[in-house]
């Protein structure tokens, strides 16, 4: 009996192996199966994002250390910016930084030029932009044009201070850093209306906030 | 003689000359009499990447008449037919020049209010199922000169309104990538950033991007041109070009906008009531007559009035034409297929007999939105506002057939 049992067992296992081999041969055949969403993204750690690539928010989050005032800013401006934006930030030839968003007077010597050839010179960051942080963030990423990233954060705070002083929203003694910059209130802010289609698209009927750091969900600022 | 025999022998000319040094004498015979010169010689060699011929050397982009200090190139609409813009003629606005991106090093990072922040390289992205869609892209500032100039400047159509182009775009629906990262239900915005030196950035509403946005990798069948965002850009049919971030390298989901430079100023819309409308993205219904158009001179007799119409909110429903400055209108023929958020070509035959005329086209889209007159547009937008100008374009024609930009 044990011999027969052994033989039977051997026969059985052999058969199982044979079937398995046959099956595995079948599954080695190419077949078109797959996911329409291959999910090939590599895990990424938020902390690995270089500091320079972190969004600077209107509430001041991600603003760097450093500080700068109007007086130093005037020097930075004269050396690094005036050649393109004009001696006082109004003349151009490139974007106007000070004053008007279009309400320019008949006494303005550049009026005909502004109207016809340089419509962009009738807008200004100082007149329109609703948040002071945007000024710092943009100069930091893109200015001076053609040589972004060449200013120190102190110099950027300083030149931002000078632009805001010239726009009448910062006193001459004003000094900016990561805590004071978001406090500056900009003349444009009161006039902003969010485009109605965009407002509808970001309307969140019942936002469940899962991240404590991001409050004021859905607000326009 | 048999022309094919001649052609064959000439085709072997360089080979024979190389092997044997034998010179092949040009064939001339009475059989060639009356033939055009190009029928009598072997033609030019082709190129690895074909270029337009020297005979159409005028069909090129032109830089914007008024440079704001960054590059703007206009599509020469008056020279093109059909509804697709050749890749080399696609309009372009580069705020920080064209970056020279190494595709092996480029990464797209998807982070912020997501369950799993992710990073993608181009090789992985190429393994996703791609979709294809025809769409126009228009700069918010297209036709700005007619919005702000107190008088109608004498310009070609391309110079006035050439910041509109269309292509067949191929890429990955953004929804697939967002889903892979897992959207936080409280996220409402996407901060999108390019890898150019200046890292152009916009805050965009998330929901429309989930519904219709594409990570575009190909343009009219070939990899994106550097000028259009190689290796990848956002395609969001119907939105202003500035929002369809080129050289895309970062998408951050958020519950608020970042208020970047362009959404704060240059691409905001000062309104007649003193308010500043911001984050307006959809390009409204618009049309232009491509022929006859600015600075052309037309001859009397039969011709076609032709043009292009588009809407960032859907299909073109109707285009009407006027030759009497808007007193009477006739419905134009629309060429099929009429696709949503793409260019639609329209035309009508016209016999012109030296009479003065003012040509206008007026498009209506499937939402019922119709182009305003220039005056009505200015009732809403401030006098110095220059974005989203979609008013009716007029061309005046004098008795000699000279066509000029015109305000009507």
B276:A36 CB<8 A: no
**pLDDT tier at B293, thresholds 50, 70, 90:** very high
CATH of domain B56-274: 3.90.420.10
pLDDT in tens, A174-194: 999 999 999 999 989 999 999
Question: β-strand B357-365 against B316-322: which pairing, if any?
Answer: antiparallel
Across the range A30-52, mean pLDDT stands at 92
pLDDT in tens, B64-108: 877 788 999 999 999 999 999 999 999 999 999 999 999 999 999
Burial of B252 (0-12, 13-18, 19+ CB in 10 A): buried
- Is a pLDDT exceeding 90 seen at residue B4? no
- Is a pLDDT exceeding 90 seen at residue B384? no
pLDDT in tens, A155-173: 999 999 999 999 999 999 9
- Is a pLDDT exceeding 80 seen at residue A82? yes
**pLDDT tier at A112, thresholds 50, 70, 90:** low
pLDDT of B96 reads 95
Share of chain B above pLDDT 90, in %: 88
Residue in the block written with tokens 């037309």 = B298
**pLDDT tier at B30, thresholds 50, 70, 90:** confident
- To the nearest 10°, report the CA torsion of B237, B164, B196, B282: -40
pLDDT of B17 reads 43
Across the range B124-137, mean pLDDT stands at 97
Which chain A residues contact residue B180 at CB under 8 A? 37, 39, 41
Angle at B29 (CA atoms; ends B24, B31), nearest 5 degrees? 125
Q: Is the pTM of this model over 0.90?
A: no
pLDDT in tens, B181-209: 999 999 999 999 999 999 999 999 999 99
**pLDDT tier at B3, thresholds 50, 70, 90:** very low
Stronger pLDDT, B229 or A220, i.e. the higher one: B229
CB nearest to B207's CB, from A36, A137, A201: A201
Q: How far from the centroid of its chain's Cα atoms is residue A93's Cα?
A: 27
Q: Where are the domains of chain B?
A: 56-274, 286-406
pLDDT of A12 reads 58
Across the range B110-131, mean pLDDT stands at 97
Average pLDDT, chain B: 93
Distance, CA of B228 to CA of B222 (rounded, Å): 12
CB nearest to A204's CB, from B109, B186, B383: B186
- Is a pLDDT exceeding 90 seen at residue A118? no
Closest by CA to A166, choosing from A111, A126, A134, is A126
A141:B199 CB<8 A: yes
Question: β-strand B269-270 against B71-74: which pairing, if any?
Answer: unpaired
pLDDT of A4 reads 64
DSSP string, B278-327: E---BPPPEEEEEES-TT-BPPSEEEEEEEEEE-TTS-EEEEEEESBTTS
Tell me which fold the domain B286-406 belongs to.
Immunoglobulin-like (2.60.40)
Q: How far from the centroid of its chain's Cα atoms is residue B264's Cα?
A: 25
Closest by CA to B281, choosing from B314, B240, B311, B241, is B240
CB neighbourhood size of A42 (10 A): 12
Distance, CA of B92 to CA of B313 (rounded, Å): 22
pLDDT of B13 reads 43
- Is a pLDDT exceeding 50 seen at residue A103? no
> CB under 8 Å to B278, separation ≥6 — which residues?
A130, A192, A193, A194, A195, B263, B264, B268, B269
Q: How far from the centroid of its chain's Cα atoms is residue B224's Cα?
A: 14
Q: Which of B107, B144, B238, B259 to mutate to test the interface with A (most CBs of A within 10 A)?
A: B259
Across the range B260-264, mean pLDDT stands at 97
Q: Which of A36, A141, A182 to mutate to test the interface with B (most CBs of B within 10 A)?
A: A141
Question: β-strand B189-194 against B233-235: which pairing, if any?
Answer: unpaired
Q: Which of B261, B263, B269, B275 to mutate to test the interface with A (most CBs of A within 10 A)?
A: B261
ipTM: 0.90
Tokens of A4: 């027969």
Distance, CA of B327 to CA of A147 (rounded, Å): 54
CB nearest to A115's CB, from B148, B191, B265: B148
| Homologous superfamily assigned to A57-193 | Cytochrome c-like domain (1.10.760.10)
pLDDT of B18 reads 43
Share of chain A above pLDDT 90, in %: 55
Helix, strand, or coil here: B51?
A: coil
pLDDT of A123 reads 75
- Is a pLDDT exceeding 60 seen at residue A22? no
CB nearest to A207's CB, from B186, B261, B266: B186
Question: β-strand A175-177 against A192-194: which pairing, if any?
Answer: unpaired
């Amino acid at each position: 009996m044990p011999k027969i049992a052994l033989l039977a067992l051997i026969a059985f296992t052999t058969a199982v192996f044979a079937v398995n081999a046959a099956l595995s041969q079948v599954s080695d055949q190419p077949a078109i199966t797959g996911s329409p969403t291959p999910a090939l993204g590599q895990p990424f750690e938020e902390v690995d994002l270089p500091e320079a690539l972190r969004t600077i928010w209107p509430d001041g989050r991600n603003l760097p250390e450093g500080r700068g005032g109007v007086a130093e800013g005037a020097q930075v401006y004269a050396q690094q910016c005036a050649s393109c934006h004009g001696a006082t930030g109004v003349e151009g030839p490139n974007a106007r930084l000070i004053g008007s968003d279009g309400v320019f007077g008949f006494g303005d010597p550049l009026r005909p030029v502004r109207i016809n050839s340089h419509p962009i010179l009738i807008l200004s960051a100082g007149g329109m932009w609703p948040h002071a942080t945007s000024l710092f963030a943009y100069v930091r990423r893109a200015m001076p044009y053609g040589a972004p990233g060449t200013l120190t954060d102190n110099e950027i705070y300083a030149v931002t201070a000078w632009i805001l002083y010239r726009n009448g929203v910062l006193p001459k003694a004003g000094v900016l850093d990561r805590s004071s910059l978001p406090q500056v209130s900009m003349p444009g802010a009161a006039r902003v209306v969010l485009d109605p289609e965009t407002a509808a698209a970001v309307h969140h009927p019942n936002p469940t906030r899962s991240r404590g750091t991001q409050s004021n969900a859905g607000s326009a600022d | 003689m048999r022309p094919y025999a001649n052609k064959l022998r000439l085709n072997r000319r360089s080979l024979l000359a190389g092997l044997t040094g034998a010179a092949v004498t040009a064939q001339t015979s009475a059989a060639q009499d009356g033939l055009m010169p190009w029928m009598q010689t072997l033609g030019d060699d082709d190129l690895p990447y074909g270029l337009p011929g020297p005979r159409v050397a005028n069909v090129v982009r032109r830089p914007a008449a008024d440079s704001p200090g960054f590059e703007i190139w206009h599509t020469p609409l008056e020279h093109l037919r059909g509804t697709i813009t050749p890749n080399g003629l696609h309009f372009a606005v580069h705020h920080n020049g064209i970056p020279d991106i190494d595709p092996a090093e480029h990464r797209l990072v998807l982070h912020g209010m997501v369950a799993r922040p992710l990073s993608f390289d181009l090789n992985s992205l190429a393994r996703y199922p791609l979709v294809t869609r025809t769409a126009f892209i228009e700069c918010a500032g297209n036709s700005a000169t007619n919005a702000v100039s107190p008088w109608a400047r004498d310009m070609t159509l391309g110079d006035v309104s050439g910041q509109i182009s269309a292509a067949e775009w191929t890429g990955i629906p953004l929804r697939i990538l967002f889903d892979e990262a897992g959207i936080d239900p409280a996220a409402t915005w996407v901060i999108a950033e390019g890898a150019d030196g200046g890292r152009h950035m916009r805050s965009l509403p998330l929901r429309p991007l989930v519904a219709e946005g594409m990570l575009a990798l190909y343009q009219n069948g070939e990899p994106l041109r550097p000028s259009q965002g190689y290796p990848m850009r956002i395609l969001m049919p119907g939105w202003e070009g500035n929002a369809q971030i080129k050289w895309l390298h970062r998408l951050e989901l958020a519950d608020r906008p970042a208020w970047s430079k362009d959404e704060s100023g240059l691409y905001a819309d000062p309104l007649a009531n003193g308010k500043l409308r911001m984050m307006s993205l959809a390009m409204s219904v618009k049309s232009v007559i491509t022929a006859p158009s600015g600075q052309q001179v037309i001859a009397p007799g039969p011709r076609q009035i032709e043009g292009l119409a588009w809407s960032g909110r859907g299909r073109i429903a109707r285009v009407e034409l006027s030759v009497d400055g808007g007193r009477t209108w006739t419905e134009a023929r629309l060429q099929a297929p009429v696709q949503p958020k793409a260019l639609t070509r329209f035309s009508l035959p016209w016999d012109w007999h030296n009479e003065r005329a003012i040509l206008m086209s007026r498009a209506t889209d499937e939402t019922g939105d119709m182009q305003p007159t220039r005056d009505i547009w200015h009732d809403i937008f401030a006098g110095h506002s220059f974005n989203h100008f979609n008013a009716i374009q007029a061309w005046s024609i004098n008795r000699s057939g000279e066509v000029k930009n015109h305000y009507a």
